[in-house]
Amino acid sequence: MIKYLNIFYFIPIFLLSQNDTITINSHQNTQLTWYGDYDNYVQFPNQNNFEKILMDFNLGCADGGCSHWDYTVNVYLMKSNGLLDSSIISIDTISYNPFLFDSLWQYQFQSNIDPNLITDSILIIDTLQNELLVLDTTWNYYDQFEKYEIGRLITPYGNYMDWDLSSDVNDLYDDDWTHKYNFDITDFAPLLSDSSIIRVHYDGWTSGFSASIDFHFINGIPPRNVISVENIYPPGSYSYESLSDNINFPPYQKFFSNDIKGSAIINYVSGHGHEGPQSCCEWIPKFHNININGSEVNTWTAWNDCGFISVYPQGGTWPFDRAGWCPGEAVTKNYIDISENLIYDDFNIIDYGIQEYSNNGESNGTYILSNVLVTYDEFNFGVDLELYDIIKPSIKDEWSRLNPTCLNPMIKIRNRGDQIITNAKIRYGIIGNELDLYTWNGIINPLEIISIELPTPNWNNITNNSKFIATVVVDDDEYQSNNSLTSDIEIPEVFPQNFMFEYRSQNDFQGIDRANQNSYLIYDDQGNIVFERNSGNFEPGTWYRDTVNLPIGCFNLVFYDSAEDGINEHWYSGESASGAGRVQLREIGGSLFKRFPDDFGEKISIYFTTEFPLINSEIKTNNFKIYPIPSKDILKLSLMTNNYDDINVTIINSYGKEIKVFNFKNKTNSIEIDVRGLPTGVYFCQFSTKNIDEIKKFIIVE
């Protein structure tokens, strides 16, 4: 007998971190080099007491380089459904018999064999040859698996990812380029135990990308315990017509007992294809909805804005909006809570709906779709506010275009309890500095996630190893282990106070005024515009040079493109490289110190400081010293050179704002400045004469 073995790559890695987190790896640099399934066997923990389960998917180039096209990558959890399937191992001819039989088929089964292998003898009459063929067939029987989609992403247009042309402005990637995607898969907890198969499905037809996957099981208590997880329909690719006409997704009936206290649908939908006049279903928005017992309970439009995504530049048409996805990004996860719409202790009808198609050929477009139904027990907490994520400052890949920053931090908070929360206190700042306190007022409903922008804290005295911390505090919080998070910090660039902003406008193309799609401005730390040039007065193919003069401080430079397609050449439309624009910064009368990629999509946004870095290092000066440090009431300046005719001394706070300005005539040795009344903190003393402009940091204490 022949035995057929299913062999999977097994990596039983369990790492217990200081945060009581178990990490398990399922794929390590798996080479996605051709269309198909990449299955690995894993052993998940045999327990169910996790606050959160996260999946990190690291995408990189394959060893042979990155594909230049966008392909779908699905991550499936494969679980046995208790049924068997079979496949033929071998078919052998045993003998020939010259006699004819009245019956066309007769079977003889062997019983003393491996229970996973069945051999049957089949008698087949060959009427032409007047003889009987006796065939011996061996079958392999194996478990059937049901797949649950736990994450989906679309690979980027990989044109720039595997270049070695480091001098090219758009080559922002090194040879070991990776991008990390984060998926919260806590709701799949009942399935993420014991032996499982994790499948990465790659629908690309060329080499390729690499995949590494880590699962993080964080010990604790979830918002609600999950009772069941089931597919409403099998995940897969469906025609627009079959969805709209309820051919593949007919109404789904389920009994919800009184033991069930809540339910939600986890949906992934992405439109693909170029059918009909509007290239359905990739390039046209369509609404989708969930209906419960004949009533519409949730409607959304499958449409994503791609102009400011984190993976850039790419190539191709990556900045253009698409149906539920963007190249290089995770597909949008739709979480639809249907708890309040169900009739308990009864059958309910769940129906997935979609906008009707037009009779113009678009019905042949496709949607890749999955709908998982999750049921829950009661909430574990009445009041539980979680600090869900830190957006700024952060070095996470998904927030790369918002960092580094020297202005307002931004966080996400989540209400994990069943009570509405209307206010909270947030303490935040650099670990080691005095932390700031912000009071938030608003409304956050159960299970809702919101973003909050915080006032600018004291960013000074940071190093490359500094960390940002934020903590949320709410009255009567019943679960406080999720109230704080820390993030790593990247230090913004330092620009001169005076520099030249240079912009070369694009050439007109196919009758489009590309030059006047652009505008640029600079904001200070209070959100005020300190420099601006609006669209409407640019000529095509023309250089514009503006002198920018800024005080000491932190700023945000933004360059907009109203078409959200950058200022690069659009080769897919036949445009030549000569039509591309350019954005760069130059020292006054000197060389370039910054050039931005032209393939940026919607906008360039960069934070920078002028003259002084945020990093904890003194700015050297040879013309004066200040003491005592720290100071309480009187700050003294010791002058290193005699006979200054006209001196200005400016006191600047940590946000770059001028607090006090003093003028002195004919000073020779020292200057005393009254700093009483200034709040404690970090300040800068700017010493200026006709030929000297230098800065020194000092500290005020009580």
Alpha-carbon gap, residue 535 to 517, rounded angstroms: 6
Mean pLDDT of all residues in 577-602: 90
Candidate ranges 493-497, 507-511, 630-634, 642-646; pick with highest mean pLDDT: 493-497
**8 A C-beta contact, residue 538 and residue 594:** no
Give domain limits for the chain.
1-80+146-222, 81-145, 224-364, 385-491, 494-610, 624-700
Give me the pLDDT at residue 133, please: 54
Q: Is the pLDDT higher at 420 or at 652?
A: 420
**8 A C-beta contact, residue 156 and residue 17:** no
Alpha carbon of 591 to those of 12, 418, 584, 595: distances in Å?
Answer: 54, 59, 11, 11
**pLDDT tens per residue, range 358-394:** 999 999 999 999 999 999 999 999 999 999 999 999 9
Give me the pLDDT at residue 134, please: 55
CATH class label, 624-700 = mainly beta
- Name beta bridge partners: 195: 43
Give me the pLDDT at residue 85, please: 61
Alpha-carbon gap, residue 57 to 214, rounded angstroms: 7
**8 A C-beta contact, residue 521 and residue 531:** yes
Q: Tell me the backbone φ, ψ of residue 156, rounded to 5 degrees.
A: -75, 165
**Among 193-197, 331-335, 419-423, 464-468, where is mean pLDDT lowest?**
464-468
Tell me which DSSP letter residue 20 carries: S
Tell me which DSSP letter residue 244 carries: H
Give me the pLDDT at residue 135, please: 55
**pLDDT tens per residue, range 44-95:** 998 778 999 999 999 999 998 899 999 999 999 999 876 656 666 666 655 5
- Name beta bridge partners: 44: 194
Q: Is the pLDDT of residue 488 over 80?
A: yes
Q: Is the pLDDT of residue 97 over 80?
A: no
**8 A C-beta contact, residue 199 and residue 15:** no
Alpha-carbon gap, residue 637 to 647, rounded angstroms: 12
Q: Is the pLDDT of residue 7 over 50?
A: no
Q: What is the mean pLDDT of the chain?
A: 86
Alpha-carbon gap, residue 315 to 474, rounded angstroms: 46
CA proximity to 108, closest of 129, 123, 86 = 123
Alpha-carbon gap, residue 194 to 235, rounded angstroms: 23
Q: Tell me the backbone φ, ψ of residue 400, rounded to 5 degrees.
A: -65, -30
Candidate ranges 82-96, 198-212, 608-622; pick with highest mean pLDDT: 198-212
- Please compute, for residue 53, the number of CA atoms within 13 A of its CA located in the half-sphere on the CB side: 21
Mean pLDDT of all residues in 22-33: 96
Q: Is the pLDDT of residue 340 over 90?
A: yes
Give me the pLDDT at residue 394, please: 97
- Please compute, for residue 231, the number of CA atoms within 13 A of its CA located in the half-sphere on the CB side: 19
**8 A C-beta contact, residue 412 and residue 450:** yes
CA 669 to chain CA mean position, Å: 58
Mean pLDDT of all residues in 132-155: 77
Give me the pLDDT at residue 665, please: 81
Q: Is the pLDDT of residue 213 over 60?
A: yes
Residue 143's pLDDT band (cuts 50, 70, 90): low
Tallying the residues shown for the chain, one arrives at 702
CA proximity to 672, closest of 621, 608, 626 = 626
Q: Is the pLDDT higher at 343 or at 131?
A: 343
Give me the pLDDT at residue 414, please: 98
Q: Is the pLDDT of residue 109 over 50?
A: no
Q: Is the pLDDT of residue 573 over 50?
A: yes
User: H or E stretch including 516?
Assistant: none
Q: Is the pLDDT of residue 479 over 80?
A: yes
Q: Tell me the backbone φ, ψ of residue 399, rounded to 5 degrees.
A: -110, 20
The CATH classification number of 224-364 equals 2.60.120.230
**8 A C-beta contact, residue 434 and residue 679:** no
Q: Tell me the backbone φ, ψ of residue 498, rounded to 5 degrees.
A: -120, 125
141 burial level (CB within 10 Å; 0-12, 13-18, 19+): middle
The DSSP line for 344-382 is: TTEEEEEEEEEPPPPSSSGGG-EEEEEEEEEEEEEES-S
Give me the pLDDT at residue 140, please: 65
Q: Is the pLDDT of residue 102 over 50?
A: no
Q: Which amino acid is present at 189?
A: A
Alpha-carbon gap, residue 219 to 54, rounded angstroms: 12
The DSSP line for 452-500 is: EEPPP----SB-TT-EEEEEEE-TT-S--TTSEEEEE--PPEEE-SEEE
**Among 163-172, 603-612, 650-659, where is mean pLDDT lowest?**
163-172
Give me the pLDDT at residue 138, please: 64
Alpha-carbon gap, residue 454 to 439, rounded angstroms: 10
* E strands, 580-633, in order: 582-587, 592-595, 603-610, 624-627
Task: Output the CA angle 187-190-191, nearest 5 degrees.
Answer: 95
Q: Is the pLDDT of residue 661 over 70?
A: yes
What percent of the chain has a predicted confidence (pLDDT) above 90?
61
Give me the pLDDT at residue 643, please: 60
- Name beta bridge partners: 22: 16, 217
Q: In this structure, are strands 36-44 and 9-10 parallel, antiparallel, or unpaired?
A: parallel
CATH 3.50.50.60 fits 385-491, yes or no: no
What percent of the chain has a predicted confidence (pLDDT) above 70?
84
Give me the pLDDT at residue 113, please: 42
Which two structure tokens, joined as six digits, stand for 280?
Answer: 């359905």
Q: Is the pLDDT of residue 418 over 90?
A: yes
Q: Is the pLDDT of residue 4 over 50?
A: no
The CATH classification number of 494-610 equals 2.60.60
Residue 128's pLDDT band (cuts 50, 70, 90): very low
Which two structure tokens, joined as six digits, stand for 549?
Answer: 């003069």
Give me the pLDDT at residue 5, please: 28
**What are the contacts of 515-519 at 24+ separation with CB within 8 A?**
515/539, 515/540, 515/541, 515/542, 515/581, 517/561, 517/562, 517/563, 518/559, 518/560, 518/561, 518/562, 518/567, 518/581, 519/559, 519/560, 519/562
Give me the pLDDT at residue 217, please: 97
Alpha-carbon gap, residue 379 to 446, rounded angstroms: 10
Q: Which fold has domain 1-80+146-222?
A: Jelly Rolls (2.60.120)
Q: Which residue reads 């011996």 in tokens?
A: 136
Q: Do domains 224-364 and 385-491 have the same CATH topology?
A: no
The DSSP line for 530-579 is: EEEE-TTSPPTT-EEEEEEE--SEEEEEEEEETTSS-SS--GGGT--GGG
Q: Is the pLDDT higher at 620 or at 3?
A: 620
Q: Is the pLDDT of residue 308 over 50?
A: yes
Q: Which letter, b or e, does each residue of 475-495 get, where b requires 16 or more Cβ atoms within 10 Å of its Cβ? A: eebebeebbebebebebbeeb
Give me the pLDDT at residue 641, please: 66
Alpha-carbon gap, residue 123 to 695, rounded angstroms: 98
